[in-house]
Amino acid sequence: MVLIQCHECHWKVSDRARKWFFILFLFAAIGAFAQTPASAWLGQIKLTGISGLPDHPLAAINGKTLAPGEECDLKLKGRMVHLQCLEIHEQSVSVQIQGLPAPCELTFSGILLPMETSPATAPSPTPATVAAPAPVMSMRIFVPTLPASQPSGSKSVSIGIGWVLAGMVFALLVGISLRSGAAQWQHRKNIGEAMVAEVIDNHFDRPHLLLNNITLPTAEGTTQIDHVLVADTGIFVIEAKHYSGWIFGNASDSQWTQVIYRHKSRFQNPLHQNYGHIKALQSLFDLPENHFHSVVVFTGDAKFKSDLGPNVIQLGGLISFLAAERPVMFDERKMTYIVGRIEMKRERRSLETDEYHINRVRDRIARKI
């Protein structure tokens, strides 16, 4: 009896120790983030692209698309930073960043450079006087200095990165069994999206701009849109389904049915799903409903066994659907503005993570063709 009680006591103590160890680990990781010096988070702000028209340029900064004068909040590691785009040049962008005393120059290298300014021009000297050249004043980026007793900033960054990597490994070990099923579903989803993007890029000839895999904030959280095709004839909101088997349903049903041999499975009506996507996009613009077009594309070898509606098609009919006779809605300037607005509002995670996956799948498809 005594031995059993000792074993029970030992189990309770070890279980409590594991819980405290986990809590202390989280606090240490948070502390490592908090000690990251200003130079580290400034290095996270990166210029990734400059586009648009000469009289309406756009700059892509950390997944946000900004025009001169526009502002946004950037999610960095451990902090949120407010940024304003001041001026867009050919290879750099002038920005004002929260926490810095003066504007900075942001380049494609991801480094914030000092902006050189000259003092006010002095009156022209008389012929008898030779004026010395005006000194050039350099604005220094604000980086909080550490006391002499503290370690250098690079050491703090390395410690923080070490804790972050340890936390990532821990989370990976805990969730690896839960992610296997989700990974298979995501792989199938990415194949369908890649096939749709490939067909549009290679065969749609009208003026257009294509955005892939966009996550937008909504009142209920977020919504994920497979494709937004901004063409001169309207905004096409495309939902891709990489399914096989027989598909049953109609436009009014809340769920449709997929049948593979004798196995039946239900899934959400993609027309209803796409309706929510269109509403999320409409909230960004003051445009009539007839400027938005919903289309569901099945990219696998699925067969339609009921009338799913004119907006549900297979991949082979996508281009004819997009190229159908419609009135011209937008010029090139308006199309650029719409894309920039969506890019500015989309979630950063979608741009950095999901876009990377779909591009990899598209590359594999291109090598097979």
Tell me the pLDDT tens digit for each residue of 114-123. 544 444 444 4
Displacement of CA 165 from its chain's centroid (Å) = 22
Nearest to 284 by CA among 235, 355, 213, 221: 235
Is the distance from CB of 45 to CB of 83 less than 8 angstroms? yes
Q: Residue 240: which of 297, 186, 198 has the closest Cα?
A: 297
Cβ–Cβ < 8 Å for 15, 7: no
List pLDDT tens digits, range 178-226.
Answer: 444 444 444 555 788 899 999 999 999 999 999 998 999 888 888 899 9
Whether 139 has a pLDDT exceeding 50, the answer reads no
Q: In sequence order, which residues have a C-beta less than 8 Å from that of residue 169 and are 6 or more positions away? A: none
3-state helix, strand, coil in the chain (%, to 5): 40, 30, 30
Beta strand pairing call for 221-231 and 208-218: antiparallel
CA 28, CA 84: separation in Å to the nearest integer? Answer: 33
Short-list 226, 268, 265, CA closest to 245: 265
CA angle 206/209/215 to nearest 5° reads: 140
Cα distance between residue 271 and residue 311, in whole Å: 8
Nearest 5°: CA angle at 71, between 345 and 139?
140
CA distances from 292 to 138, 218, 222, 235 (A): 50, 18, 20, 5
| Residue 124 pLDDT class (50, 70, 90 cuts) | very low
Top pLDDT among 367 and 143 is at 367
The tokens 């410690």 sit on which residue?
159
Residue 17: pLDDT band (50, 70, 90) is low
275 vs 6: CA distance, rounded Å: 62
Whole-model pTM? 0.50
Give residue limits of the domains in the chain. Answer: 1-115+154-168, 179-368
188 or 301: which carries more pLDDT confidence? 301
Query: In this prediction, what percent of the chain has a pLDDT beyond 90?
Result: 36
Residue 165's contacts (CB-CB under 8 Å, 6 or more residues apart) are: none
For residues 212 and 354, what is the distance between their CA atoms, to the nearest angstrom? Answer: 9
Give whole-number Cα distances, 214 to 4, 74, 135, in Å. Answer: 57, 17, 49
Q: How would DSSP label each residue in 115-172?
A: PEEPPPPPPPPPTT--PPPPPPEEPPPP-PPPPTTSPPHHHHHHHHHHHHHHHHHHHH
- Is 227:217 a contact under the CB 8 Å cutoff? no
